[in-house]
Amino acid sequence: MKYYVCIDDTDNIDSIGTGQLLEELCFEAKSRRLGKSGFTVRYQLFIHEDIPYTSHNSSMCVDFETDTPADFTAFASRYLEDNSAEGSDPGLCILRDSEDIDYSPLFDFGVRATKEIVTKGEALALAAAFGDDVHLSEHGGTGLGVIGALAGAALRAGKANGRIKGKLFPPDDENVFTFSEFADRFGIEQFINENESILTDTGENIEFFFPTKKLYIGGKVTVMLVRNENGVLIPKPKKGRKDVQ
């Protein structure tokens, strides 16, 4: 079975980020044969002086396949309690992926969390209404991380646009690809331009020399293509300040 797993408020200014902690949690779960994870999507939540957050108020959500959801939930809960940073307020959400359930109230909550202040009480009550299909739990501190955890899982389940964690690096062996070669090599499902319009294969090549970001657009793994100063089609470079994780 497929689930969306999201954690939030697990770090402090000196610790590893929430995204890295989620990846380490999934790696450990895999080593224990509790399932396997896909890629992690970052969602930007609302920035406001009344909302406590470490640096960017972003939520990280990964897709996870497991045949033993109860065992995985118990493991993930313990892992957060043992590994979250001092002073953090960790929350965990595990949302079952199912076409038979109307998750629109959850998605609406997730969208609101990107635009306005929402409360822990709202998050807990909403999750409880879905019974066993949504696990939402606090694991230390104030437990306010349940807000971002539920919001991130809901946004991912609703295929909201976000950024896939990490960079995509050009390979050492070749740098020029057709559209289909690039898609097959790097697991890309679609290409867009800077206006987020879908690009189709016109026969041009893609030249890949600088790191780029994979995006999650319309529920698909996506790369944005732009033209450089010479008019050559390239993945939009991701360089400069340290990438937000």
Residue 3: pLDDT above 90? Answer: yes
Same domain, 206 and 86: no
The CA-based angle 155-195-175, given to 5 degrees, is 95
Q: Which residues form the domain of 35?
A: 2-160
Name the pLDDT band for 48 (thresholds 50, 70, 90).
Answer: low
pTM comes to 0.85
Same domain, 109 and 222: no
End residue of a domain, out of 102, 131, 160: 160
What tens digit of pLDDT does each residue of 88-128 get?
Answer: 788 999 999 998 889 999 999 999 999 888 998 999 999 99
Question: What is the number of domains present in the chain?
Answer: 2
Same domain, 31 and 134: yes
Question: According to the model, what pLDDT value does residue 12 have?
Answer: 54
- What is the average pLDDT across 29-36? 96
User: What is the CATH number for 32?
Assistant: 3.30.70.2200
Residue 37: pLDDT above 80? Answer: yes
Same domain, 213 and 104: no
- What is the average pLDDT across 75-89? 88
Question: According to the model, what pLDDT value does residue 245 have?
Answer: 38
With CA atoms as reference, report the closest residue to 208 among 244, 243, 173, 160: 173
End residue of a domain, out of 160, 186, 210: 160
Q: Is residue 243 part of a domain?
A: no
